[in-house]
Amino acid sequence: MVAQCREWNPDRRPPAVEICSLSDDDLASLARKTFVLITTVGPYARHGEAAFKACATEGTHYLDVTGEVPFVARMIARYSDAAAASGALMFPQLGIESAPSDLVTYSLASLLRTSFSGAKTRDVVVSLRIKGAPSGGTISTALSLLETIPAREAVAAYRPFALSPVPNPHPASPASRSILSRLTGIFRHPFLGLQTTSIADRTDGALVERTWGLLASTPSRNGQTYGPNFSFKQFMHAPSVLGGMAVHFGWMLFYVIMVTPFLRKWLASRATPPGEGSPPEVAKNDEVEYRGVATPDIDSSSGSNAGQGKQAYCRAWFKGPNYYRET
């Protein structure tokens, strides 16, 4: 790793390497030596708690790239008080799960607020388009989640606004969908086009809704709140009706495999192993795009009709490897 960094940036001082175990003592010692700790060691539900605990108790700012919402919910419950006391800022889910959707939502809400006389945000719909294969670590994490987190705890963590520090008693209802749309996964958005089921809907939604709650419960952020009627929904871009249905039923099959131990074990034995993924010459063609549309909450716009019939639009796009630096 040091040699590769030296090749990339010969004019910079190469990083030092320190080896430690995933124990409370070793990670507490490591946390005390740094201002910010970024951890990419997963599955987080199995290996991640010691790093989270060390940062929360030692006052070290923390970042990770997990997509394991139940792990995040568990860490919030266990260590939020310790982090508040130590001054540590804890930022989980900062990879492709789920920072892009969170930043798109924040940008949309900001645009509505500045464009329409302080209008709040009623609903946000995000369309995800992704090209590229998941890494072995991502597959392993998905397949092992229910081996480390009880099913009841996992289901509770994925409920709307479960990670928010404050409840949302009356969120807006997402766009209504027919029974046929729910069965096939196909949904045609008037602006975003043909959509299908996104497996990351509740993963990304959990972080977006936590941001909603943090803004709503932090006095210094009062001017940035999304509003009481906020809702979030994510879909995946469908290239065609049949292609969208294939994606939808493919995710349904994957859910069945996840909750069935012998099928989970079978798939794990045939999947890309952790630590491996697409080679650089293939991954350089990876691509990910988020397109989001937000509707203003007219009832929250100080009694005016500012923004009526209008929507905000945002696009975030990246071409290149999703997991490592492109040389």
* DSSP per-residue codes, 113-149: HHHTTT-EEEEEEEEEEEESPPPHHHHHHHHHHHHHS
Categorize the per-residue pLDDT at 105 as very low, low, confident or very high, splitting at 50, 70 and 90: very high
- The 10s digit of each residue's pLDDT in 191-230 is 999 999 999 999 999 999 999 999 999 999 989 999 999 9
**Do 131 and 20 lie in a common domain?**
no
Whether 302 has a pLDDT exceeding 70, the answer reads: no
**Do 52 and 103 lie in a common domain?**
no
Which residue(s) pair with 127 in the sheet? 235, 291
Considering the domain boundaries, does residue 37 fall inside one? yes
Percent of the chain scored above 70 by pLDDT? 95
**Domain extent for 216:** 99-319
Categorize the per-residue pLDDT at 30 as very low, low, confident or very high, splitting at 50, 70 and 90: very high
Considering the domain boundaries, does residue 325 fall inside one? no
Mean pLDDT of 275-298: 89
98: cis peptide before it, omega within 30°? yes
**Do 58 and 121 lie in a common domain?**
no
Number of domains in the chain: 2
Rounded CA separation 82/222 (Å): 24
**Do 130 and 76 lie in a common domain?**
no
Of 66, 91, 116, which residue is a domain's last?
Answer: 91
**Do 55 and 187 lie in a common domain?**
no
**Do 62 and 106 lie in a common domain?**
no
- The 10s digit of each residue's pLDDT in 159-199 is 999 999 999 887 766 667 889 999 999 999 999 999 999 99
124 within 8 A of 292, measured Cβ to Cβ: yes
Whether 327 has a pLDDT exceeding 60, the answer reads: no
Considering the domain boundaries, does residue 324 fall inside one? no
pTM of the model: 0.91
Categorize the per-residue pLDDT at 257 as very low, low, confident or very high, splitting at 50, 70 and 90: very high
User: β-pairing, 120-131 with 187-189?
Assistant: unpaired
Of 39, 59, 91, which residue is a domain's last?
Answer: 91
Mean pLDDT of 85-92: 97
Tokens of 254: 């994957």
Percent of the chain scored above 90 by pLDDT? 71
Rounded CA separation 213/295 (Å): 19
**Do 109 and 69 lie in a common domain?**
no
**pLDDT for residue 300:** 47
Considering the domain boundaries, does residue 70 fall inside one? yes
Whether 301 has a pLDDT exceeding 50, the answer reads: no
**pLDDT for residue 283:** 82
**Do 36 and 124 lie in a common domain?**
no
Closest CA to 73 of 100, 49, 37: 49
**Do 50 and 69 lie in a common domain?**
yes
Amino acid at position 129, single letter = R
Mean pLDDT of 256-265: 92
Considering the domain boundaries, does residue 80 fall inside one? yes
Considering the domain boundaries, does residue 327 fall inside one? no
Closest CA to 141 of 40, 250, 73: 40
Of 39, 67, 91, which residue is a domain's last?
Answer: 91
Which residue(s) pair with 125 in the sheet? 233, 293
**Do 180 and 241 lie in a common domain?**
yes
**Do 146 and 59 lie in a common domain?**
no
Mean pLDDT of 89-117: 95
260 backbone dihedrals φ, ψ, rounded to 5°: -115, 110
**Do 82 and 115 lie in a common domain?**
no
189 Cβ contact list (under 8 Å, min separation 6): 125, 127, 175, 195, 235, 293
